Homo-oligomer: A and B are copies of this chain.
Amino acid sequence: MSERVAAKLTVAELDGLLRTEFPELFSAENGFVIEDVWLGGCRVRKHFDPGSLRPGGTISGATMMALADFAMYVAVLAAIGWVPLAVTVNLNINFLKKPAARDLLAETRLVKLGKRLAVGVIGIHSEGDDALVAQATSTYSIPAAKG
């Protein structure tokens, strides 16, 4: 796609930096995989974990919120480079349908990338089913560059 010009960090660079610097956020155990990044967005996978199941065989809202926040963080870092102290200001999420007991995929699209604030829209769906299970919007604050 024409919009998918290169991000400031590649998947491999983001993967390495996050795994080294923030192992509590991003490690083999928590099941996140960065699948693709581009300038203005990314796609992130959350491997299915039976521990996040809820009655009825569905995945917890907390799991989807954590995934949305991670997918936004990856899109912001891909767009601005390694500025790890970017922080979430606001996250709004609508839960649309119960996810199946499968992997979840989150795709972020940045709709604003300013000097101080970034805003992204994150759609989450189950592997193999395009219908959204959750839709989130998030605002990140970008720290001022040092002189």
Contacts and interface: CB of A to CB of B under 8 A. Distances in A.
Contact of A88 (B89, B95, B137): B95
Interface in A66-101: 66, 69-70, 84-85, 87-98
A21 B61 CA distance: 17
Nearest 5 pairs between A and B by C-beta? A62-B66, A65-B65, A96-B112, A92-B92, A61-B88
12 contacts: A24-B60, A25-B60, A61-B69, A89-B89, A89-B95, A89-B139, A90-B95, A91-B92, A92-B93, A97-B112, A117-B141, A121-B121
Interface of A: 21-22, 24-25, 51-56, 60-62, 65-66, 69-70, 84-85, 87-98, 111-112, 116-117, 119, 121, 132, 135, 137, 139, 141
